[in-house]
Amino acid sequence: MPSRRAALNAVTLVVTIVLFVPLAELGLRLALPAPTIYRPLPPNLTQTFEVRSARGVQGPALYKVNSMGARSREWAAERGTEYRVLCMGGSTTESLANDQSRAWTTLLEQRLGRLPDGRTVWVGNIGKSGWSTRHHVLQARHLLDVYDPDCVVLLTGVNDLASRLKRGPDADPSVEPDLGDLDLLRQSFAIAPGRFEAEWPEDPWYKRTRLWLMVRRLKQGATPSPEAQDPQGAYLLRWRQARAGGRRTAELPSLAGDLDRYGRALREVVSLARGRGARVVLMTQPVLWHPGMTEEEKELLWMGGVGDFRRVPGSLYYEPEALARGMEAYNARLRDVCVETGADCVDLAAAVPRTADFFWDDCHFTDEGQALVADTLAPVVRTVLLAKHTAVAAPANEALPHGSAPE
């Protein structure tokens, strides 16, 4: 009798699962329809960070993404009442450790205020840690139609340099890093048309279900990856300790092939933005690295390693003076692209002093650094927006205002 009852219970359980799973999946698909548009960041995400070891940053820091997938306020319902400025980049645009109110993108919007033509300015921040120009090109291809910006601001360079250095001194400079288009798409967007973050063609069928998506999200929240930037900033202490215990070299590998790819990517972003009628502002990448850094300054560093340096003890790291040379090579190439294309250029690397007053690690800005970036950028963006407005309003044969870059 007990065995019959156990068998009946087992059959009941199997039937329940067989019936429940399809119904649950159907319900979730009705509740969570497949997206129809690209979003760089998870819409409506709200988190709070307090990276206590980031000196010069006041916490806790609110990180809030709007419904359009940008770290910013919602834009005006009437398109004609405000300009749109789209800020792209990696973590130095994202500004994860800084409160939303103190991120340079928010401060830029405040500095711009209401322009003389009566319009306000919406500044959208779609930066994210790790993104390089390879991601920015893909984003420019798919997001410019979504955001319809009047101006695109791009702060980039350090992730391109870090990616090259990570491959090691013996890597063939002519070989492009192996990253398939689908992997690049996964990295570049939180949501893509027809796909949530867990729904991709090569995945097994069960990984493309809504049930798997919900389990995956819950698991990620409960057990973050060792590479995750946890809200308390424990990651920063681990990464600094890893660098302190690593080996050192002052010899940079060849950057030639990667610099060429960097230049091509920048030119493509400029071309894509102009094709949508947007003006472009390119910014050089400021960093703390410089020759003769004090020991106290060196203790703030964690970047510039080879291989899986954040996980593997004793990894090889480049000395600050080598990193400074490498960063200047990328900044020089960006300045060259500005000259070649006529894009507006802000030499932010020259404007931000290389001290711990403005950086809390290798390249990320303190609150004071965020304010300086906004102060430096605001006059340029204001001029660009007004010049664009004048160019649209003026007859075709009328000259642009003095000082504006040719389109």
**pLDDT, tens only, 93-138:** 999 999 999 999 999 999 999 999 999 999 999 999 999 999 999 9
Residue 200 lies inside a defined structural domain of this protein: no
Residue 166 lies inside a defined structural domain of this protein: yes
Give which of 355, 232, 229 is closest to 300, Cα–Cα. Answer: 355
CB 357 within 8 A of CB 368: yes
pTM above 0.85, yes or no: no
Residue 96 lies inside a defined structural domain of this protein: yes
Please report how the helices 133-147 and 181-188 are oriented relative to each other, as an axis angle in degrees rounded to 10: 60
Mean pLDDT of 65-79: 94
Using CB atoms within 10 Å of the CB of residue 278, give its burial: 0 to 12 exposed, 13 to 18 middle, 19+ buried. Answer: buried
**Which CATH number is 162's domain given?**
3.40.50.1110
Question: What domain range is 60 assigned to?
Answer: 38-195+231-393
CB 287 within 8 A of CB 327: yes
Q: What is the DSSP letter of 359?
A: B
The residue type found at 394 is A
Residue 183 lies inside a defined structural domain of this protein: yes
CB 1 within 8 A of CB 159: no
**pLDDT, tens only, 28-38:** 555 555 666 89
How many structural domains comprise the chain? Answer: 1
- Alpha-carbon dihedral of residues 207, 211, 214, 215, nearest 10 degrees? -70
Instruction: Output the pLDDT for position 10.
Output: 61
